[in-house]
Structure 1
Amino acid sequence: MRDIRRLLMYLGPYRKDMVTGAFLVLAETCLELFIPVLIADLIDVGVAGHDISYILSKGLQMGVCAVLALITGLLYARFAARAAYGWGANVREAQYKRVQNYSFANLDHFDSSSLVTRMTTDVTVLQNAINGGFRPLVRGPVMLVMGVALSFWMNPRLALVFVVCTPVLGIILFFIIRKVAPMYGWLQKTVDRLNHVVQEGLTAIRAVKAFVRGQYEEEKFQAVNRELMETSQTTFHYAVLNLPVFQVVMYTAVVLILWFGGNMILDSSLQVGDLTGFLSYVMQVINSLMLIANVFLLLTRSLASACRISEVLDEKLVLDSPPDAVKNVTDGSVDFENVSFKYRADARKNALSGVTLHIRAGETVGILGGTGSAKTTLVQLIPRLYDVTEGTVKVGGRDVREYDLEALRDAVGMILQKNVLFSGTVRENLKWGNPVASDDTLWEACRTACADEFLERLPRGLDTDLGQGANNISGGQKQRLCIARTLLRQPKVLIFDDSTSAVDTATEGKIRSALAELKDVTKIIIAQRITSVMNTDQIVILEDGKVHAVGTHRELLAGDPIYQEIYRSQMKGGDDHGSTAAQC
């Protein structure tokens, strides 16, 4: 319940709609409960006395109550819908905003498919709880209390049936909820797994078709889909047990009331109108108990979803700006001082160990190393996508933990290893780097990244629609647009995480030449091709998360065996050639 109460804080302006809806339900219930009293009078006085005017008067009063009840019910539906869907929108927005503040370490705690489920299916469950449960939640207790009270007022002896029925129904409801409650949590986790398979299959659909693995993916989907079906069937098999049980109790109560009430009519201790009105209250009380039971089932499922949503909102942010954060990065110098890092506190081995590097502002530095040598991990510490485990990373002479996160990341431009472009036009994607950039500025950045070569051939130029994932352009074109987008930010530190791997060597040479003109920008280049870093001011070689060697191309080629091996394999292809090159 704590999670539900916490999420109700996101009602905001829709709180008034919920209160208004509760008042309308209360008014509707009172009007409906007044109708059996009118029925009893109509039968006992009007029908018994053959008083047509009295019958018409009571009939008119009943009609007015029914019409007013209908109007209040329709108004309630309007206000309840506004409250439910407004609340759901606020909860989704709160989750999405929270996720935007997550660091990479926070994102490691959730699968993307699970986050999608929590923002869609789980929020829908809460909305349905309001839409389908708020009315009976208000109406049920009011009908129960007033119905029982009016029943005892009309005939205390017959009303004793509630003393027997209510505990029986309460005990049954308790056992049903106890059985069903944990099942809803399992059900939502199964939805997570289904979404994961769907997301993965659709994202990799081209690879699936290329390897002719459609049948395998279909079987994988069938397995998780069948698991969801079976979990749903089991869960709702127990959840709907309350309906037949309640009907058995209700009809048993009606039969007993008719039996005892009929005998009371025969001995003239009860009138027919009173029995008819009493039966109306019995039906209303039993229905109210069924409504309350359904609310408990809705609430039980809502609690599971509310708990999952609260996990997203309560996730402790690993990274945050300090109270007195520095908001200006003076220059692009980067210093690693005895830095060690591990992705998890309980990891047995550091991803980086004892790294010490000093990069002056305006320098161009290349980083080489084998797969798994932690090249990407190293540069992710510069914009503070992760925090170091030991040591210090400095940018502009200050510890990165002293900066405002937004200011630091504005000053550190990073072209990621995996190119990400969003649905929309080229212009919209480029303006991620600078929302107020003019067309001239956009074209200048594109020329530096050599993206103008293919953009000028497109019929709509900057207004070309890239579609979802920019699948209508090549990998190299994506990389060039990502470079242009980052250049528009005018960063002080520019990081290329293997960002020209899909570009041909001639185009890469043009990009390097254009970037060399950016004198005040520190450039850090992670590359697989040695030609990408040969002309840098210094080259860092990483091996197993440690700095193996630092030097210029000539220095490393003369004295470092790892660099010599990379050079021979990529440039000359033989030991003799490599030795000759080393002498040049």
Structure 2
Amino acid sequence: MIKLFTYLKSFITSIIAVLILVFIQSIADLYLPTLMADIVNNGIVSGDIGYIWSVGGVMLLVAGGGAVSAIISSFLSSKVAMGFGRNLRSKVFSRVESYSLNEFDKIGTSSLITRTTNDITQVQTVLVMMLRMMISAPMMGIGGMIMAISMNRRLTTILAVALPLLIVFIGIVGRTVIPLFKAIQKKLDKLNLVSRENLTGIRVIRAFNRIDNEKKRFDETNLDLTNTAIKANKIMAAMLPVIMLIMNLTSVAIIWFGSIRIDLGDLQIGDMMAFLQYAMQIMMALLMLSMMFVLIPRAEASAFRINEVLDMKPEINDPEDIRSKGVKKGYLEFKDVTFSYPGAEKPALRNISFSAKPGEVTAIIGGTGSGKSTLINLIPRFYDVDKGAVLIDGVDVREMTQESLRVKIGFVPQQALLFTGSILDNIKFGKEDATEEEIKHAAEVAQASEFIVNMEEGFHSEIAQGGTNVSGGQKQRLSIARALIKKPEIYVFDDSFSALDFKTDAKLRGSLKKEIVDATVIIVAQRVSTVMEADRIIVLDQGEIADIGKHKELLKTCKIYREIVASQLTEEELA
């Protein structure tokens, strides 16, 4: 957790102010019982009203100064903690944004959300307590002990018995509850995972009538978290009454033995009252420290998880020396590429070699699991190859910055993703400074204009979260428009026409052909009708290239391609 506190450097002035104010408050709190003893011993006992008023006035000033210090220090400590939380969330988010897909797979999306929200809140809460208590509790404890001894040494024997009892009890509670708090964070991760899967997959759950099963699954996870939290909170709830019992028994003992000392003339009434207050201050300081010791391990567990995110180095990084060559823009080449997913038994792609030139359409086709999407994910360097190289304009993508690489690519993913906001915002996602004419033109080419103009607010119509208010085909067309407006050197379409009807598919391919005539186009598709006019068709089978050629050539030379074609087209269509 100390490592995270390096992000407090920008708040150093406020932290120093908090510490000074807490120091002043602690001095005031320690001085008040002495003033009270003075009033009782020299004012109330002797009936000196003037003395009571004069010392009482000083008490009011000291109490007022302590209260003002407490209010300001609370405000500043809260402000520091909130600012720290804001900066840390921003840092974690930026780090996650730099991750490759491998890091996302390792930690998990639901866990990353928990770490960015709940875990940072835990550390933030403990920071407020530390700023308020790390000076106050030791000062009140040590200062209270010194002041108590100065009042009466013999009565401190009571504290010598009570304090070890309190420390031992707090230690036992801490050892029991700390592992439970650590377990709560992991179970919260699991609950978030189940909730996220249920919310994102609600259509599938309803379609398969699995609502009751998912409710049961959620209830089991929720109950597991609840039981652990209840167990931890029961222990914490039991702690306070026991501590109060020890404190009250200590008060009774002080009054009992103090009254005996007063009868013997060894102690004044005011001193006994002050001693009683100092004893309570010492025990409250211990109670504050015990709360810190219970909460710090929970925050420590959260801090470890946050540091894990911040310390995890992305596998994909920008090179120090950036290379460039004067090759025609958009030239793409795979050289003997082999790639495996982490932990996989065998490579997803093996010995892949081909080239794609500007002005050409390269199509990739193959059965399910043949490696089509994996192959195109290597182009924008979502993953790094195990062997071989992916080159763009003659430069290995690993020797280019990720930004300069991806600015060359217009990527349309297999699962069309739209963001909350207007249709205009979603298309402009590809080019922030796009003009209205460019937006409309991109929508026309993508065959999206027709349904956009029929919407109530046209291009300013709002897209719901996850694009639930538009169809699958409309999502795909908007995703294509988003890529088109970018005017990249390389277009990558990952099965981006699957939700379109044959008529729209044909119109879209026709308009695309005119629009992207100077660009390199890579199309992954399941439909033969989508790829048969391509300049080059790559047939993948179990991660390897089965054959490369044009439609008519492959019909003669490639058995796998013939099988795919035969499954989709009739003999008349083939002829």
Report what 1:452 is aligned to.
Answer: 449
**Aligned-partner SS, 2:462:** coil
Q: Decide which of 285, 289, 304 is 1:288's aligned counterpart.
A: 285
CA distance in 2: counterparts of 1:484 and 1:562, whole angstroms: 33
Q: Distance in 1 between matches of 2:246 and 2:178?
A: 24
CA contact (8 A) 1:126 1:306 kept: yes
Provide the secondary structure at the position in 1 that maps to 2:297: helix
Task: Look up the equivalent residue of 1:521 and give its one-letter code.
Answer: A
Aligned to 1:533: 531
Describe how 1:25-40 pairs up with structure 2 within 5 A. Answer: 25-40=22-37
Which structure 1 segments of 5+ residues have no match?
none
Structure 1 residue matching 2:154: 3-state secondary structure: helix
Aligned equivalent of 1:318, options 315, 320, 324: 315
Aligned equivalent of 1:436 = 433
- Aligned equivalents of 1:160, 1:60: Cα separation in 2: 34
Q: Distance in 1 between matches of 2:235 and 2:456?
A: 61
Q: Distance in 2 between matches of 1:140 and 1:165?
A: 18
Cα drift, residue 353 of structure 1: 1.1
For residues 348-381 of structure 1, the C-alpha deviation after alignment (integer angstroms, 9 at most, x for no partner) is 2111111111222332111111111111001111
Displacement of 1:403: 0.3
Does structure 1 retain, via aligned residues, the 8 Å contact 2:323–2:395?
no
Matching residue of 1:155: 152
Equivalence for 1:542: 540
Structure-2 residue corresponding to 1:75: 72
Provide the rounded CA distance (Å) in 2 between the counterparts of 1:413 and 1:123: 36
Match of 2:568 among 546, 561, 570: 570
- Tell me how far 1:467 sits from its aligned partner: 1.8
Distance in 1 (CA, whole Å) between partners of 2:113 and 2:374 is: 27
Query: What is the one-letter code of the residue matched to 2:216?
Result: E
Secondary structure, in 3 states, of the residue corresponding to 1:491? coil
Between the aligned partners of 1:382 and 1:533, the Cα distance in structure 2 is 19
**CA offsets 1:302-328 (integer angstroms, 9 cap, x no match):** 111111111111111110100122478
Deviates more, 1:361-370 or 1:130-139: 130-139
1:464-512, Cα deviation, whole Å (9 max, x unpaired): 1112112111110110000010111111111110001001111111111
Whether 2:194 is the aligned partner of 1:197: answer: yes
Mapped partners of 1:69, 1:292: distance in 2:
21
Give the alignment partner of residue 256 of structure 2, picking from 256, 259, 265: 259
Q: Given the alignment of the two structures, is residue 112 of structure 1 paired with residue 116 of structure 2, yes or no?
A: no
Output the amino acid matched with 2:337.
Answer: V
Displacement after TM superposition at 1:251 (Å): 2.5
Deviations 1:27-83 (A, max 9, x none): 111111111001111111111211110011111111122222221111122112211
Whether 1:351 aligns to 2:366 is no
Q: Do residues 169 (structure 1) and 159 (structure 2) align?
A: no
Question: What RMSD over aligned residues (CA atoms) do the two structures have, in Å?
Answer: 1.7
Report the equivalent of 1:14: 11
Structure 1 CA distance for aligned equivalents of residues 145 and 58 of structure 2? 23
- Kept in 2, the 8 Å contact 1:11–1:90? The answer is no
Offset, 1:565: 1.0
Q: 1:271 matched to which residue of 2?
A: 268
CA distance in 1, matches of 2:42, 2:386: 87
- Equivalent residue of 1:365, what SS? strand
Cα distance in 1 for partners of 2:532, 2:494 equals: 16
Match of 2:100 in 1: 103
> What is the aligned partner in structure 1 of residue 492 from structure 2?
495
Distance 1:42 1:340, change over 3 A: same
Distance in 2 between residues matched to 1:266 and 1:19, nearest whole Å: 48
Secondary structure at the aligned position of 1:535 is classed as coil
Equivalent residue of 2:383, what SS? coil
SS in 2 for 1:157: coil
Q: Alpha-carbon deviations, 1:501-536, whole Å to 9, x = none? A: 001111111111122122221111000100010000
Q: Which residue number in structure 2 is paired with residue 402 of structure 1?
A: 399
Taking the aligned partners of 1:483 and 1:101, their CA distance within structure 2 comes to 25
Match for residue 472 of structure 2 among 468, 472, 475: 475
User: Is residue 327–residue 407 contact of structure 1 (8 Å, CA) maintained in 2?
Assistant: no
Could you say what secondary structure the match of 1:160 adopts?
Answer: helix
Partner SS state of residue 414, structure 2 = coil
Report % sequence identity: 37
- Contact 1:15 / 1:83 at 8 angstroms: preserved in 2? no
Match 1:223 to one of 214, 220, 223: 220
- How many aligned positions are there? 573
Distance 1:442 1:15 in 2: 48
